[in-house]
A and B are shown apart, each in its own frame.
Chain A
Amino acid sequence: MASTNSPMAPPRSFFWSRRIFLTLLTGFVLLPVYVMVSSSLKPLADVTGEFHWLPSEVTIRPYIDIWSTIPLARYFVNSLVVAGAATVCSVVIAVFAAYAVSRYEFRGKRVFTVTVLSTQMFPGILFLLPLFLIYVNIGNATGIALFGSRGGLILTYLTFSLPFSIWMLIGYFDSVPRDLDEAALVDGCGPLGALFRVVVPAAIPGIVAVAVYAFMTAWGEVLFASVMTNDTTRTLAVGLQGYSTLNNVYWNQIMAASLVVSVPVVAGFLLLQRYLVAGLTAGAVK
């Protein structure tokens, strides 16, 4: 599609500037990736002494040691549970909310969307302590342990990704023709039937994009994870710091662990990135 945009052949200056720019940018982007991969295959002596581009010998030892230096497997499971649950809940709740805003006229609609979007402005630090106090008080009053538990973290993270998800899905649902769900209503579906049988299937790219965003938000968050978790519920974002608080900084293990925790997200992201661009095109960017 893009190539038909320019019937005239671009000038040569366009080609050489593109080549230079993209080469430099690729180097900049991949430099840390190279350091991560190469250092994770180095023996400890290589990463404590002067930096060298290539390992003196290639070893997979760091990939074995990472699991015993800190309880990495436990952190991994915690992160998976927290990010997975937060993603599923966030997507479902955002679908409901976006459907209401996209398909119904009701009092307070504008107030709702503006309020939800403006929460993006809040500095996380402003509600860190109040939220901590609320969770502790709910725990004292009802016995539901939110502070220090995975549940509390799931609740927090799913709300973090809600505003952007709702906003993006409103845009996406608006682009799904109304005739479709009205036809479904005539065919005897209830409003929820129309939502799940017609609107959701037509909005899959947008929903996948929102899910990817929600998962990444939960998987990478550091501030609330560092305050709201304890030894058993610690997530990777905090747990990974365990490699450097010991007497020795095991850089090769840190790099190996970083790579291990990155692979699921990066692989998933790259597989789904087409949906993400498609979702953004139809949803947020209009």
Chain B
Amino acid sequence: MTTTAPAEAAVGETPSGAAHPHPRRRPGRIRRIGLPYLLLLPALLLELLVHLVPMVIGIVMSFKELTQFYIRDWGTAPWSGLDNYKVSVDFDAPVGEALLHSFLVTVAFTLLSVGLCWLIGTAAAVYLQDTFRGRGLLRALFLIPYALPVYAAVITWVFMFQHDNGLVNHVLHDQLHLTDKPSFWLIGDNSFYALLTVSVWKGWPFAFLIVMAGLQNIPGELYEAAALDGAGMWQQIRRITLPSLRPVNQVLLLVLFLWTFNDFNTPFVLFGKSAPEAADLISVHIYQASFVTWNFGTGSAMSVLLLLFLLVVTGVYLLLTSRGRKPAHG
């Protein structure tokens, strides 16, 4: 499967070969220097327009008193200094308290979801490493949650979690008699577990995909050497497979963390515009603070705080994981 590229590459190589030791034949200095920038230009312009300039505007907005009266012409909104930030982090007042609560819910949710996604994804990838009958079919099936459009998948879960006509209550209450009466899943405390279930269901195939790709880069000689030393299957997995996956896991866990922490689509489709308190993820919380109460200044301040938090976490994470890795290699 992975041989496609090298095979094509080899075919392309034969006619010309490496017979010409001097490939440099540049028309002019300006063109040589300018070309890479020219190639980057479209990507750069789009990143500026859609990501970077809006982010700067967002940061500017967080210092303004931007309520619905000024939204038509946001430049005229009065400056408010750090007021939006003070409101956001005043944890004794309702706004700050709600934000802190939402933040803590998001942290707990993210840690659980990323942990479970990684665990299931890794286990599935390791179990599917050997060839056996039905392996290809299973691999395709396992990727379905990842391939399904978010809203189509999540709306199906909404149906399953319905109080009166959903599958979950039918199984737990009517068939297994585990509960005294049908539970509510999309409001109240249970909503946290409902959200976690959907998030793991949807997220683990990505971990599976990446780990599966990572496993193919582990040289087979390592396993052969270990087997000669008498290491059994479980020992090989623990001593060779998992350590070899470390660089892959470093990136995978970070990406999963950022995506899960910022996830808006899942809670938004699952709960609608106002999430229950127990599953009040931060992105939906900020969306609500901005668009439902029409207070964009405070919403922007909250977003900037969120970005700062993610920057710090990412920085510390990369520092710790990279430092821990160097001695192991050298």
Complex alpha-carbon distance, A281 and B283, angstroms: 32
B46 A159 Cβ-Cβ under 8 A: yes
What 0/1 pattern do residues 152 to 167 of A give for CB contact below 8 A with B? 0001101110110010
Partner of A286, one of B217, B262, B287: B217
Q: Give Cα A28 to B142, complex, Å.
A: 10
In the bound complex, residues from chain B placing their C-beta under 8 Å from that of A262 are: 148-149, 152-153
How far is it, in angstroms, between the C-alpha of A52 and the C-alpha of B170 when the chains are bound? 8
B40 touches A97 (CB 8 A): yes
Which of chain A's residues have a CB closer than 8 A to the CB of B124?
A: 21-22, 25
Whether B142 pairs with A25 at a CB distance below 8 angstroms is yes
A226 cross-chain contacts in B, Cβ below 8 A:
268
Q: Does B265 contact A (CB under 8 A)?
A: yes
B20 at the A interface (CB under 8 A)? yes
What 1/0 flags go to B114-149 for Cβ under 8 Å of A? 000000100110011111000000111111111111
Q: State which size class the interface on B falls in.
A: 35 or more
Contact pattern, B 181-223, Cβ under 8 Å of A = 1, otherwise 0: 0000000000000000000010000000110111111001001
The answer to whether A22 touches B127 (Cβ under 8 A) is yes
Question: B-facing mask of A247-265, CB < 8 A → 1, else 0?
Answer: 0000100110011011001
Q: Does any Cβ of B come within 8 Å of A30's Cβ? A: yes
How far is it, in angstroms, between the C-alpha of A286 and the C-alpha of B311 when the chains are bound? Answer: 24
The one of A26, A183, A222 that contacts B265, using a Cβ cutoff of 8 Å: A222
Chain A interface residue count, Cβ-Cβ cutoff 8 angstroms: 123
Closest to A1 in B: B220
Residue of B nearest to A39 (CB): B159
B201: nearest chain-A partner, CB-CB: A28
| A285 in contact (CB, < 8 A) | yes
- Closest chain A residue, CB of each to CB of B33: A106
Is the pair B232, A254 in contact by a Cβ cutoff of 8 Å?
no
Main secondary structure of the interface of B (DSSP, over half): helix
Q: Which partner residue on chain A sits nearest B306 by CB separation?
A: A123
Which of B43, B51, B269 meets A166, CB within 8 Å? B43
Chain B residues with CB below 8 A from A106, complex form: 33, 36-37
Give residues in B with beta carbon < 8 Å to A. Answer: 1-2, 4-5, 8-9, 12-13, 16-18, 20, 23, 25, 33, 35-37, 39-40, 42-44, 46-47, 49-55, 57-58, 61, 74, 120, 123-124, 127-131, 138-153, 155-157, 159-160, 162, 164-167, 169-170, 174, 201, 209-210, 212-217, 220, 223-224, 227, 232-234, 236, 248, 251, 255, 258, 262, 264-265, 268-269, 282-283, 286-287, 290-291, 296, 299-300, 303-304, 306-307, 310-311, 314
Q: Which 6 A-B pairs have the closest CB atoms?
A: A127-B54, A183-B16, A182-B23, A126-B303, A130-B54, A269-B147
A sample of 20 cross-chain residue pairs with beta-carbon separation below 8 angstroms, ordered by A number, consists of A25-B120, A33-B144, A52-B170, A104-B36, A119-B47, A119-B52, A122-B55, A126-B55, A129-B299, A134-B54, A159-B46, A177-B13, A222-B269, A237-B150, A254-B155, A266-B148, A277-B2, A277-B212, A282-B2, A285-B210
Known: A130-B57, A266-B144. 14 other contacts (CB 8 A): A6-B227, A14-B234, A29-B142, A48-B165, A100-B35, A112-B44, A119-B47, A126-B55, A156-B50, A223-B287, A261-B149, A261-B152, A274-B1, A285-B210
